[in-house]
Amino acid sequence: MKLRNLILSAGFLAMAQNASAEIMASGSAMAWQCAPCHGTNGQEFVEAMPPLAGMPAKQFIDAMIAYREGTRPAIIMDRVARGFTDEEIKAMAYWFEKQPVKQWENTSLNEALEADATARSTGGQQ
């Protein structure tokens, strides 16, 4: 409970996140589902699919909403994006924003755990 207060104090974004916590998967749980195409924790920088790690949250949110609404051309991302609500998209965006901007193979387990913890504590998710 105390922790939740702490997170709420992180600001309005976290609050929006918490409000829907009951009915929504966590940011990391959703972000993990992107890994087969975008790399573990979004850290794939050499393939055709864009890396998501470190992407500014606004860029992620705008892109996903545009895919979902069909205003941005897509191969499969239109179909994928239609599976997510605005709140879910935001939670993923904040989580990915905090992941290290480097190839997964060069990232240590501790770096990954730290980035995950940072993402969670700044409203990336609860």
Partner 1 sequence: MSQLENKQFDSKITRRDLIKLFGATAVAGTGIFGASQQAYAKSAAHVVVLGGGVGGATLAKYLRFADPDVKITIIEQYPEYITCLRSNDVIIGMHTLDELTFNLDTIKNKYNVNVVIDTVIGADFDKKTVRTAKGDTFSYDKLVVSPGIDFRFEDYEGYDATLAEGAFPHAYKAGPQTLELRRQLLALPQGGTAIIATPQNPFRCPPGPYERASFFAEYFKEHNPTAKLLVLDPKDRFTKDVPFKKAWERLYGYKSDNSLIEWVSGSEGGRVLRLDAKNMTVETEGGSYKADLINIIPNQRAGKLAQIIGLTDSSGWCPIQRDTMESALHKEVYVLGDSSIADEMPKSGYSANSQAKVCAQAIADALKGNAPGKAIYSNVCYSLAGQNYGVSIAAIYEVRDGRIVAKGKSAGVSPITDKPAQPILEAVYQKNWQREFVKDVFS
Interacting residues toward partner 1 by CB under 8 A = 1-3, 5-6, 9-10, 23-26, 29-30, 32-33, 35-40, 44, 47-49, 75-76, 79-85, 104-105, 109-114, 116-118, 120-122
Give the span between the Cα atoms of 11 and 107, in whole angstroms: 29
Query: Closer to partner 1 at the Cβ: 25 or 59?
Result: 25
Give one DSSP letter per residue of 10-55, joined into a string: T-HHHHHHHHTGGGS--HHHHHHTTHHHH-GGG---SSSSPP-TT-
Query: Closer to partner 1 at the Cβ: 57 or 99?
Result: 99
Single-letter residue type at 47: E
> Taking the complex as a whole, how short is the minimal distance between the CB of residue 17 and partner 1, in angstroms?
13
